[in-house]
Amino acid sequence: MDDEQMNHLKKEISEKIAMLEEERIRYLEDAKRVEGEKRYVENELIRLQKEVRILKAELERLKQPPMIIGTVRDLLASGKVIVRSTTGPDFIVDVSQDVDRRSLKVGSRVSLNKQSLAVMEVLPPSIDPIVSGAEVIEKPSVSYDDIGGLRDELRELREAVEDPLMRPEVYKKVGIEPPKAVLLEGPPGTGKTLMAKAVATQTNATFIRVVGSELVQKYIGEGARLVREMFELAREKSPSIVFIDELDSVGAKRIDMATSGDREVQRTLMQLLAEMDGFNPLGDVKIIGATNRPDILDEALLRPGRFDRIITIPPPDYGARLDIFAIHTKKMNLHKDVSFEELAAITDGASGADIRAICTEAGMYTIREKRVKVKMVDFRRAVDKVIGNMDYTEKEAGLMFG
């Protein structure tokens, strides 16, 4: 075999070896890819098996029968408890081993097994949405400077509500108990709610506001339960102020001849009386009531020990009207001809709410005539619209209408 044939043979062998090496590398890559796919499939299988187990557990949980809500009435020495279920009668039942017996107390809400009625879980206390929604989360942006006049009335309110919460040591030194509750009575729009908001802002206390009519419910005992839960919430979040607006809707005088609806209102009133002057001390809980019909309130509400201090909020006098106009116009762009003295004089008998409406109406007339400064004529026309105390001359009418 000559050299040329030898070289040709070596070349063929080299090419063959190169092809085999390429084939081996390709097979190795395919093996690695298949191995990776195998691991992915195995992991996916494990994930799907876990998901199947979760879905089966959820399905089994959903198939379980519903549990009954009950209330613990008594704890027995044998380890069993007496519960009252929502179905009505009392039962002596066992307690599940998973339940912490230290959390079992008389009055606790528990879940009961539907068949054996055994206690399965201790539930958190229930608070009605009406009560939980009565708590004012954002503090009212009202200060004492936003209240015109009423200096003596504000002082009495602060002495009864603010000082006991912020300076309780003063009352201890003197040796007296501060008032439990304050009743604000007066015509509508004189600032009763505004005063309560200002005190709540100043004391930084939890402010719970409820309208008296919300406490009157359709079914027997529901209104009393709302009152009880409201005071429980106030004690839990003390120091707190409970403001009951339109108190006359729930605190009207009790009469002998009454319908079933009237009797339910009376039950709610009796629960309110018991909470205000019962065995459970109110502590750092102050009550402010407001009404424009003090003549129809029940005498039991007005006696000492309930509403200890009654503050009459009168309609604003001349000086108070001056202050109120100054408060409501401090952000307004006023013309130099605006006279607060004249406005206070021509609004005799107007309430604080009326004066605020007058300022708003005056600004609306200014916008209507495409001006940026509020003139005295705008205020006069607003007074005439809101309270009807003005007579216009033809000259003033011409100024108003251009």
Cβ contact 184:194 at 8 Å: no
Q: CA 252 to CA 295: how far, in whole Å? A: 9
Beta carbons of 155 and 309 less than 8 angstroms apart: no
Tell me how far apart the alpha carbons of residues 248 and 255 are, in angstroms, rounded to a whole number. Answer: 14
pLDDT attached to residue 395: 36
Report the C-alpha gap between 267 and 265 in whole angstroms. Answer: 5
Cα separation of 214 and 195, whole Å? 21
Helix (H) or strand (E) holding 209: strand 206-211
What architecture does CATH give domain 131-312?
A: 3-Layer(aba) Sandwich (3.40)
- List own/partner pairs for 215-220 with CB under 8 A and 24 or more apart: 215/250, 215/268, 215/272, 216/249, 216/250, 216/264, 216/265, 216/268, 217/264, 217/268, 218/264, 220/264, 220/267
pLDDT at 129: 60
Spatial contact of 299 and 307, defined as CB atoms under 8 Å apart: no
Q: Which residues of the chain fall below pLDDT 50? A: 390-402
Q: Which residues contact 375 (CB under 8 A, 6 or more apart)?
A: 335, 337, 338, 366, 399
Can you name the CATH fold of 68-123? Answer: OB fold (Dihydrolipoamide Acetyltransferase, E2P) (2.40.50)
| Helices first, then strands: H and E counts in the chain | 14, 11
Residue 219: the pLDDT is 67
Which CATH number describes the domain made up of 318-400? 1.10.8.60
With contact defined as beta carbons under 8 Å apart, do 328 and 355 qualify? Answer: yes
> CA–CA separation, 286 vs 142, rounded Å?
19
In this predicted model, what pLDDT tens digit does every residue of 328-341 receive, in sequence order? 888 888 888 888 88
Residue 51 is predicted with a pLDDT of 92
**Residue 52: predicted pLDDT:** 92
Question: What are the residue boundaries of the structural domains of the chain, listed by start?
Answer: 1-64, 68-123, 131-312, 318-400
Residue 281 · residue 178 · CB < 8 Å: no
Pairing of strands 135-136, 206-211: antiparallel
- SS3 of 232, please? helix
Cα dihedral 395, 396, 400, 402, rounded to 10, equals 20
243: number of Cβ within 10 Å: 25
What is the distance between the alpha carbons of residues 38 and 36, in angstroms, rounded to a whole number? 5
List Cα–Cα distances, 110 to 72, 100, 115, 117, 221, in angstroms: 7, 12, 15, 10, 21
Q: Among 286, 199, 194, 307, which residue's Cα sits nearest to residue 240?
A: 286
Mode of pairing for the β-strands spanning 68-75 and 109-112: antiparallel
What CA–CA distance (Å, rounded) separates 172 from 165? 12
Q: Within 10 A of 294 (CB to CB), how many other CB atoms are there?
A: 18
Identical fold at 68-123 and 318-400?
no
pLDDT of residue 7: 76
- CA gyration radius for the chain? 38
- CB contact at 8 A, 234 and 285: yes
pLDDT in tens, 144-162: 878 887 888 888 888 888 8
